[in-house]
Structure 1
Amino acid sequence: MPYFANGTQISEEELRMLLVVDVGNTNIVAGVFEDKTLKVHWRFSTDRSKTADEFGIMLRSMFAYSDVEMDKISSVIISSVVPPVLIPLCHMCERYFGIKPMVVGPGVKNGIFIKYDNPKEVGADRIVNAVAAFHKFSHLGKPMIIIDFGTANTFCALLPTGEYLGGAIAPGIGISTEALFQRAAKLPRIELVKPKSVICRNTVSSMQAGAIYGFVGQMEGIVNHMKKELGGDAYVIATGGFANTMAAESDCIDVVEPFLTLDGLRILYEKNAK
């Protein structure tokens, strides 16, 4: 069952200050909502060795440099695809906020009908993104394709009726280029920026061209195949660290939603706190 602030039902007034935390394989993204407005957000690396106190001190320092007071947080919701990090984060919430967080998982109402062979295999981040996309774009009456550019590039298909059909998972841009650096003796670690051309005259630019244009091709290929399976048309939503970079190089993305996951966490909390 979902958890509520201090273990009790929360009134509508108490939903004003909500801390949302999304734990990914590479980064943790956190944000604070006042009602439906995202007031502040942070991104820090996912460290499986951090303790509850280390997470608490880190968040305390982030709040200190924001316009939000830490003691004004009345509710917390967490989604995680990294189980070892979840327990210390929950302990941190209880110790530093006095709140038992809601955790995205079985028992949390999401309004999505998951058509996966085993629904428990769907990552919490993909469910949260689907909830946000359904809430924001189902009124268009089109199937949706949600692309999240993270440690893995995930492609999810969602019907406007709320049916989550599944999707595809590919290695992310960051880990792919890092693997190339680690396994090829003469290739350097590169900054992932767009080169001036795709026909490059030096190694760094050549690697940048291969990464950027290679993943654009991957994205367009998967989206085109998914559109065919969905009947020929779909609304494509992109999120994640490289969403803007990919959108700038392709017209297959209809909208970039940088805070799709955080919005989804807020919507999930509101659905379960009533």
Structure 2
Amino acid sequence: MLLAVDVGNTFMVLGIFEGERLRAEWTVHTDPSKTLDEYGLLFTSLLERAGFSSRTVTAVAISSSVPPLIPKLEWMCHKYFHLKPLVIGPGVRTGMMIRYDNPREVGADRIAGAVAAFEQYGGPLIVVDFGTAIILDAISARGEYLGGVIAPGIDVSADALFQFAAKLPRIELVNPGSALGRNTVHAMQSGIIFGFAGLVDELVERMAAELDPEGQGCKVIATGEQAELLLGECKTIQHFDPHLTLTGLRIIHDRHQAHGRGGR
């Protein structure tokens, strides 16, 4: 079984695959201060509570937006799973051509999501990942990663309002139902929810015009922990796939294994 680990700036998502089937998934806070033993005990505990054991894990694939955590997780895999993990990065065959000025600048999670999206939906397409940042990635009809957009995330922006505007409270991020706020909390929720929906729609439309100038049809797939907040408000999003990055890690791992056995 494959243990896929996507390390984001705020959250770490783990998934256990049996073949192509995702058997279980967990989301925990990313904490660079944890030791490798703390992570080892956390991972094995989560597996055991879901009915698995460390012995059932035969491979580990990792993508990380937090580079200092990679060596710690590598050593954790050696100690607790007796495995060398596949860490997605330069030199790892993903099956996707990267048309970025400097391919090393593209986060491994972005490539994993792009690989999964193209495999499942075809191109051209745009992946919108709602995480610590809102990231939009463009993939061509030929399956090439072309680049994208990075914008501030919903939580980051809401926290900034609370921290830097003395009279504004920390609020619950929910859809207020109407744009015209009748109180401060309602007004902030409106600005964040509807404001970010408008931001995403405008960016998608601009990117689609460049990616698909003839209007043949550009697919738009959303993922990420904050996506469901805006699904009903973003007019351009066509599909929601909460497991996109984990699926991409599984696909890249399978391709890496096939290449190692002499496959393509």
The answer, yes or no, to whether TM exceeds 0.5 is: yes
| Alignment partner of 2:195 out of 194, 205, 214 | 214
| Alignment partner of 2:12 out of 18, 28, 41 | 28
Deviation at 1:250, TM superposition (A): 2.4
| Alignment partner of 1:203 out of 184, 187, 202 | 184
CA–CA separation in structure 1 for the residues paired with 2:245 and 2:81: 22
Task: Work out the number of aligned pairs and report it.
Answer: 255
Determine the structure 1 residue equivalent to 2:130. Answer: 149
Deviation at 1:190, TM superposition (A): 1.2
CA–CA separation in structure 1 for the residues paired with 2:2 and 2:141: 28
Give the alignment's Cα RMSD to 1 decimal. Answer: 1.0
CA–CA separation in structure 2 for the residues paired with 1:54 and 1:190: 32
Q: Alignment identity in percent? A: 51
Per the alignment, in what secondary structure is the counterpart of residue 3 of structure 2?
A: strand
Question: Runs in 1 of length 4+ with deviation above 6 angstroms?
Answer: none
What's the TM-score, normalizing by structure 1? 0.91
Deviation at 1:251, TM superposition (A): 2.7
Letter in 2 for 1:106: P
Letter in 2 for 1:80: S
CA–CA separation in structure 2 for the residues paired with 1:98 and 1:70: 9
Q: Does 1:269 align with 2:253?
A: yes
Per the alignment, in what secondary structure is the counterpart of residue 253 of structure 1?
A: coil
Deviation at 1:64, TM superposition (A): 2.5
Q: Does 1:91 align with 2:75?
A: yes
Determine the structure 2 residue equivalent to 1:175. Answer: 156
1:91-113 residue CA offsets vs partner (Å, 9 max, x unmatched):
11111111110100112111111
CA–CA separation in structure 2 for the residues paired with 1:213 and 1:155: 18
CA–CA separation in structure 2 for the residues paired with 1:92 and 1:263: 22
Determine the structure 2 residue equivalent to 1:5. Answer: none
Determine the structure 2 residue equivalent to 1:12. Answer: none
CA–CA separation in structure 1 for the residues paired with 2:228 and 2:175: 12
Deviation at 1:198, TM superposition (A): 1.2
CA–CA separation in structure 2 for the residues paired with 1:218 and 1:185: 25
Q: Which stretch of the first structure deviates more once superposed, 196-205 or 18-27?
A: 196-205
CA–CA separation in structure 2 for the residues paired with 1:69 and 1:116: 40
What's the TM-score, normalizing by structure 2? 0.94
1:28-62 residue CA offsets vs partner (Å, 9 max, x unmatched):
00000001100000001111111100101111221
Q: Does 1:105 align with 2:103?
A: no
Q: Which stretch of the first structure deviates more once superposed, 244-253 or 117-126?
A: 244-253
Deviation at 1:22, TM superposition (A): 0.5
1:242-264 residue CA offsets vs partner (Å, 9 max, x unmatched):
22222211231110000000000
Q: Which runs of no fewer than 5 residues in structure 2 stay unpaired?
A: 259-264
Deviation at 1:127, TM superposition (A): 0.6
Q: Does 1:65 align with 2:46?
A: no
